[in-house]
Each structure stands twice: as structure tokens, then as C-alpha cells.
Amino acid sequence: MAPWWARSLRGRVTLIATAVAALVLIPVAIAGVIATRSLMSASVFRDTRDTAERIAYEMRGGALPMGAAIPVPNPSVDLIQVVGPNGQILASSDAARNLPPLSDIQPTAENRVINMTNCLPTECVHLTAVRVSMFADSPIVYAGRSTPDLLASRTLEVVVFAQVGVLIALASWATWLVTGRALRPVATLRAELDAVQVGDLSRRVSQPPGQDEVAQLARSVNGTLARLERSAQQQRQFASDASHELRTPIAGLRAQLESAQLYPDDTDVEALVESALRDTDRLEAIITDLLLLARIGSRVDVVRERVDLAELVRQELAVRCDKVPVQGELEGGVVVEGVRLQLARVLTNLLDNAQRHAEHRVCVQVYEEGRDTAVLAVENDGVEIAPEDRERIFERFTRLDAARSRDAGGTGLGLAIARDVAVAHRGRITVEDCAGGARFVLRLPAV
């Protein structure tokens, strides 16, 4: 089982930050150590080579007598020896007087300068060997110095990797603190979200200031809670309205049947059956519309196809027998993608609504708005809808006073169905101004 700090987001982020810091800093430290050692070695060999070249030059000019102590031109390079071809020491500096030959490696005529390191019985040295001349019996000048402590030991590596360890620890600690501070609003949000109960969706989580991810998450959570609260309120209102709408025809049907049972001799069977059938038709219409609304909301109909709106209107008008004539202003080639039966139901509901409220005329228009919007508009010359009622009429079981007086058998769900179908097709339906009457406009994405 993972340790406690690895099971939390804060611990995992800290672990990742530590690993990243290690992956970055360790190669940098290794490269830095290698580069530092190379630069120091190059600097030491440059000094030893300059000293060896100078001594060889003086020997070629005869300015350096054999057997005498060799003067040291560079105090840091104090180990100088001139060795003959047979290995005997011809001359040396004071520091190298009692030392054996500094090296047995001899440069050739083709490669007259050689840099090397050698460990003597007492210490390790950096050396440069220079051949004085091209002759076979040419002496060899060795110039060197003790290997610097940083090159002779692992002190540099220890110091560098100790610093790397400290930096990684600081990065881990800083990540732990910063992550904890960044996640503190998330912990608060989680606690507040846990306190939200199904029976009370009015509570909201605290929204931190700014535009960072946590603030956006809080806004999304509050938006989701608001939609859930609105959905719960709509469900409660819908259940109340549905029970009321269903109770009315059921109560009427029951009253007629009870009256017929109590007074069978006074009952007109034909009128009773006709009235009962009307109430049954109303019940069936309400239940059918409720099922359609549930089906739209659950996205059962997912088979979509390309639908020509003008052709859809022509097919619908061809099978209707309306009391008010319908004029068509149909632009061809206006195509949308959707469920044909649902779009046809929207058109039917809009036409039925227009027929119930029209005085002399109903007009259907299909046209394209811009390049990406298809428009289906149905208008009538009846009573104009007040601006304050233009959103309310799309709620379920909502009827205006004028509609109640003129509606003959409507379920109160036609416009609600039209709104839900429009939303399911990524569109919208609105009521717009027109010259005397009501105008319903459905806008859908064109294809």
C-alpha cells in the first residue's frame, strides 16, 4: 500500500515535482562537474606546457647550462626535469632535485608535446613532456605541478551533489506548501458540496476570486447546482400541473358515470358516450404529450437525418384541413439535421396553435438567415402576445387567459414540446413582434 502522502493529490504533485527536479538537477550537476574538471585540467596543462616549452627553447639557445638548478619561470609549476635519452636526469628545479624521473613517457619527433598525469610515491602530478629537438638523442623536458586538490579528490562531487540534494529538498518543500495552499479552496469546496442535500438544492459553494481553475470549478459547480435546483423545481411544478390537468377530465368522466349509475332512466346514453369519449381523448392526448416530453428529455430518438424544411412544410400542409387558410412562403434548399418526426411535431404544434388563435390568416415562412441558420416562422393575425408572457407560454400546462377562452381540447403542452425539441436540436424558438398577431420563430443550425 502506498504511503499516506502518495495517496493524496498534494503528495502526488510533490512527488512528481521532486522527480522532475531530480531529473533536471542531477544531469546538470554531472555536466557541471565534468566541465569544471575539464577546464581545471586544461588550465593546469596550459601552465605546464608553457613552462616546458620555455625551458626547451632556452636549452636550444644554450641559455640553460646542464647540471645547474633550473630556474622556475612559473611559481605554480615547480617540478622541472631535463632527462637524457638514456633516462639520466641532466638538470632539475629545486623542488624536483631529490625526485626520481617524473615520467618514463618520451615524446616522439612526430608528437613532440605530451600531456599526462602520473602518481609519484609522494603525490600525483600533472605533467607536460616536450622534446627539445628532432634528433634521436634529444633530451626531454618534463614540467609539472602537484595535482590540485579538487582534481585529486572527490570534494567537488561531494559539494555539488550536496547542493543538488538541498535544492531538491527545497523544491519538494516549496511544492508541498504551494500545493497545499492551492488545494485549500478545493477542500473547502468539497466540504460545502458534501453539505448539499437532495431536499435543499439552494445552497451554493464559496467562489474564490480570480479566474484560475479553482474559481472556474466553483462557478461550474454553482451553475450545476442552479440547474439541478431549477430542474427539481420544474419537476415539482410539472407533477403538480400534470396531476391537476389529468384530474379534470377524470373527475368529469367519473361524475358523468356516477350520474348515469344513479339515474339510469334519465341518462342519454349517446350523449354520455360522446362526452366520455371526449374526456378519454383529452386524457390520451395529455398522456401522449407527456410521454413525448419524457422521450425528448431522455434523448431516446437519436436517429438524425437531413430534413428540408420547405418540403416538410409542404407535406404537412397537404394532409391538413384547417379552418383558416395557410399561406406558404417557402425558400428551397433550407436543410437541417434532426429527427424528422420531432421537427414535424413542432410544425404541427405551431400550426395548431396558430389555427386556434387566428382570425383570417396563418402564414408559414421558411428561409435561411445568414449562412448557418435555418428559420421556420409561423404567424397568425390573432391576439398579440404581451412581451411579459412570451417566455411563460413555453412552460408546461401554461395557458393565457385568451387561450383558455378559445382553446378547444389543447393539452397545454404543445409549445413546451416545441421548445424542448428546439433545444434538443441545438436551436431555439421565440415569439417575435409582427404587424397584428403572434409570430413564432424556430431557428436551427443549417447544414
Give 238-304 as a DSSP string. Answer: HHHHHHHHHHHHHHHHHHHHHHHHH-GGG--HHHHHHHHHHHHHHHHHHHHHHHHHHHHHTT-----
pLDDT of amino acid 38: 92
Residue whose cell numbers read 420563430: 441
Q: What is the pLDDT of residue 3?
A: 59
* Cα separation, 127 vs 144, whole angstroms: 4
Number of H helices, E strands in the chain: 10, 12
Name residue 147's amino acid: T
* Structure confidence at residue 404 (pLDDT): 44
- What b/e sequence results for 30-54 when a residue is b if at least 16 CB atoms lie within 10 Å of its CB, and e otherwise? eeebeeeeeebbeebbebbbebbbb
Residue 406's pLDDT is: 43
Give the pLDDT of residue 297: 54
Q: Is this model's pTM higher than 0.85 or not?
A: no
In angstroms, the CA 186 to CA 351 distance is: 52
Element (H, E) at 357: helix 340-357
Instruction: Give backbone dihedrals phi and psi of 45, rounded to 5 degrees, phi first.
Output: -65, -30
pLDDT at residue number 378: 95
Spatial contact of 59 and 80, defined as CB atoms under 8 Å apart = no
Within the chain, which residues score under 50 in pLDDT?
300-301, 403-407
Q: Which three cell numbers stand for residue 339?
A: 429527427
Nearest to 217 by CA among 199, 195, 198, 192: 192
